[in-house]
Amino acid sequence: MTIRVGQGWDLHRLETGRPLVLGGVTVPSDKGELGHSDGDVLLHAITDAVLGAAALGDIGRHFPPSDERWKGAASRVFLETALRLTRDSGWELGNVDATVVLERPRLAPCMDSIRSSIASLCGLPLDAVSVKAKTSEGVNAAGQRQAVEAQAVVLIHRD
């Protein structure tokens, strides 16, 4: 069996009145991501990790913000496309491990829904998807509620 690891990262500014979408789930919040698409930093980081593991470029190459087709798009489309391209290249996704950095709101009440959403999108069992939430303790843009950040690592394999 051959395995590869991919790493992804994303950050979006937060703006009052926008929805906060994480892992395909709308999280109750007074601020949400500012982005060309729905701004789901978690799915963007996972998408980049999948594309990177398969050596297929990055999210900006496949879904450039300069392309109006992606304005307001649901980020699940990006992940579904990345997974299809990866499978077409002979790879299968093994697991996802991700971290969201956000001061508020607390994500614990939504974590089961976020994990379930990602598992469903990726075609993985729930125990192959880990999502953690961290704060920046008031430091940097995420800590000052100006931004939300996500990091992801995935494993892909082929026999």
Least Cα distance to 148 among 11, 39, 34 occurs for: 11
| The domain defined by 2-158 carries CATH number 3.20.20.70 | no
159 has a pLDDT exceeding 90: no
Q: What is the mean pLDDT of the chain?
A: 96
Give 65 or 28, the one with higher predicted confidence: 28
* Average pLDDT, integer, range 66-85: 93
* Average pLDDT, integer, range 144-148: 95
As to burial, measured by CB atoms within 10 angstroms (0-12 exposed, 13-18 middle, 19+ buried), residue 55 is exposed
Q: What is the pTM of this model?
A: 0.97
119 has a pLDDT exceeding 90: yes
> What SS3 class is residue 89?
coil
